[in-house]
């Protein structure tokens, strides 16, 4: 039916499931930048999120136990417009975990809480490695990245600077008092 939600300008299926052209273009850019010395050992995409893990070809034989999972935290916790992708692997005797996520945007306390809850949901919802443990606690190294959407509050920095200045003044006053000045 024309004019249905699927065909409207406000809703595009490719917006939520991803555009294959974009994935291919990104893959081409990454692989041309890395060159032939690297090999993809783990990849996953969901919606418009994508995680690709590359290793030097010389180390590829040392990679084992690759596991990948994902958790949607977007609309209704069904659509993959937000969420996280997790890839776990072992390189020699070292376990590595890569978490790529797209968290909700906007400023304000409720959105900060929402981002933190989404991180928790990603950790609890993805099962790689030991199924009873989350990705943040069971690996030697965890790399967490993506469109985190956390905001920097520069007023906090100014407040900390002022607190440090006051503490320094207090320390100097205490030292002067101890010297009998």
Q: What are the DSSP calls for 47-61, one per residue?
A: TTEEEEEEEEGGGGG
Sheet of strand 141-147, all strands in order from the earlier edge strand to the far edge: 63-72, 83-91, 94-102, 141-147
Structure tokens at 44: 């996953």
Banded model confidence at residue 102, pLDDT cuts 50, 70, 90: very high
Check if the beta carbon of residue 117 is closer than 8 Å to that of residue 110: no
- Kindly state the average pLDDT of the residues 153-163: 70
Q: How far apart, in whole angstroms, are the C-alpha atoms of residue 119 and residue 81?
A: 15
Q: How far apart, in whole angstroms, are the C-alpha atoms of residue 45 and residue 17?
A: 9
Strand partners, 147: 102
Q: How many CB atoms within 10 Å of residue 16?
A: 15
Number of domain units in the chain: 2
90 and 167 both lie in a single domain: no
Check if the beta carbon of residue 51 is closer than 8 Å to that of residue 33: no
Residues 6+ apart with CB under 8 A from 147: 101, 102, 103
20 and 91 both lie in a single domain: yes
- Kindly state the average pLDDT of the residues 58-83: 93
Note down the domain range covering 173. Answer: 152-181
169 and 87 both lie in a single domain: no
Q: How far apart, in whole angstroms, are the C-alpha atoms of residue 105 and residue 115?
A: 8
171 and 140 both lie in a single domain: no
On whether the pTM is more than 0.95, the answer is no
74 and 86 both lie in a single domain: yes
143 and 177 both lie in a single domain: no
Q: What does the pLDDT read at residue 21?
A: 80
138 and 67 both lie in a single domain: yes
128 and 67 both lie in a single domain: yes
CATH number, domain containing residue 126: 3.60.10.10
Q: How far apart, in whole angstroms, are the C-alpha atoms of residue 12 and residue 7?
A: 7
Whether the pLDDT of residue 175 is over 60: the answer is yes
60 and 70 both lie in a single domain: yes
**Which position has the higher pLDDT, 14 or 146?**
146
Q: Rounded to 5, what percent of the chain is helix, strand, coil? A: 40, 30, 30
- Nearest 10 degrees: CA dihedral of 134, 76, 79, 51? -20
Give whichever of 9-18, 88-97, 153-162 has the largest mean pLDDT: 88-97
Q: What does the pLDDT read at residue 154?
A: 66
């Amino acid at each position: 039916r024309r004019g249905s939600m699927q065909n409207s300008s406000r809703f595009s299926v490719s917006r939520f499931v991803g555009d294959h052209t974009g994935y291919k273009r990104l893959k081409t850019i990454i692989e041309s930048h890395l060159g032939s010395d690297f090999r993809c050992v783990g990849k996953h995409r969901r919606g418009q999120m994508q995680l690709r893990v590359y290793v030097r070809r010389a180390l590829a034989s040392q990679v084992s136990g690759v596991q990948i999972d994902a958790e949607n935290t977007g609309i209704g916790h069904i659509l993959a417009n937000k969420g996280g992708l997790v890839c776990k692997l072992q390189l020699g005797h070292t376990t590595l975990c890569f978490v790529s996520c797209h968290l909700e945007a906007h400023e304000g306390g409720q959105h900060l809480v929402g981002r933190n809850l989404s991180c928790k949901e990603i950790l609890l919802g993805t099962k790689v490695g030991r199924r009873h443990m989350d990705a943040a606690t069971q690996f030697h190294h965890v790399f967490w990245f993506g469109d985190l959407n956390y905001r920097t509050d520069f007023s906090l920095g100014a407040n900390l600077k002022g607190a440090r200045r006051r503490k320094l003044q207090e320390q100097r006053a205490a030292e002067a008092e101890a010297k009998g000045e």
